[in-house]
Amino acid sequence: NAGVTQTPKFQVLKTGQSMTLQCAQDMNHEYMSWYRQDPGMGLRLIHYSVGAGITDQGEVPNGYNVSRSTTEDFPLRLLSAAPSQTSVYFCASSLSPGVTQYFGPGTRLLVL
C-alpha cells in the first residue's frame, strides 16, 4: 500500500493564481482531512470529509474548496492564492472517527 500520497511536493504560485493540491489514499478510509502547518502554529484543520460526497469546513476554510467524488481522492483547491496561504499542507485519512490518522508527506506552497 502506498498509504496517503500528495502531489505536488513543492509549488510556487503568484498572487491570484489558482491550483489544486492532490491527495489520494489506498486504504479505503472513509474519513479524510486537510491541514495547514505554519511555524509556531501547529496544524490547523481546513476541510474534512466523512465519505464520498460529504464535506465540511474546519477551523480555517476561507480561500479553499474541497470535493470528494471518490473514496480515494480528496483534492484541495486554492481559488485565488494569497501570500497568507504560504504554508505546508498535509492531507490525512482515517478508518473511523477518533482513531489513528495517517498523514501524507505534505505539499510546501509558496505564494509570492
Partner 1 sequence: SQQGEEDPQALSIQEGENATMNCSYKTSINNLQWYRQNSGRGLVHLILIRSNEREKHSGRLRVTLDTSKKSSSLLITASRAADTASYFCATDGIIGYSTLTFGKGTMLLVSP
Contacts to partner 1 by CB under 8 A = 4, 31, 33, 35, 40-45, 48, 50, 56, 58-59, 90, 92, 94, 96-106
At position 63, the amino acid (one-letter code) is G
Query: Smallest gap, in angstroms, from Cβ of residue 79 to partner 1?
Result: 22
Nearer to partner 1, 14 or 40 (CB): 40
Nearer to partner 1, 17 or 65 (CB): 65
Nearer to partner 1, 78 or 104 (CB): 104
Query: Smallest gap, in angstroms, from Cβ of residue 31 to partner 1?
Result: 4
Inter-residue contact 92 to 33 (CB < 8 Å): yes
Query: Smallest gap, in angstroms, from Cβ of residue 15 to partner 1?
Result: 25
HSE, side-chain direction, 13 A CA sphere, residue 21: 34
Other CB atoms within 10 A of residue 98 CB: 7
Strand partners, 21: 76
**Cα angle value 96/101/107 (rounded, 5°):** 130
Let me know how many helices (H) and strands (E) the chain has, helices first. Answer: 0, 11
Nearer to partner 1, 48 or 64 (CB): 48
Query: Smallest gap, in angstroms, from Cβ of residue 52 to partner 1?
Result: 14
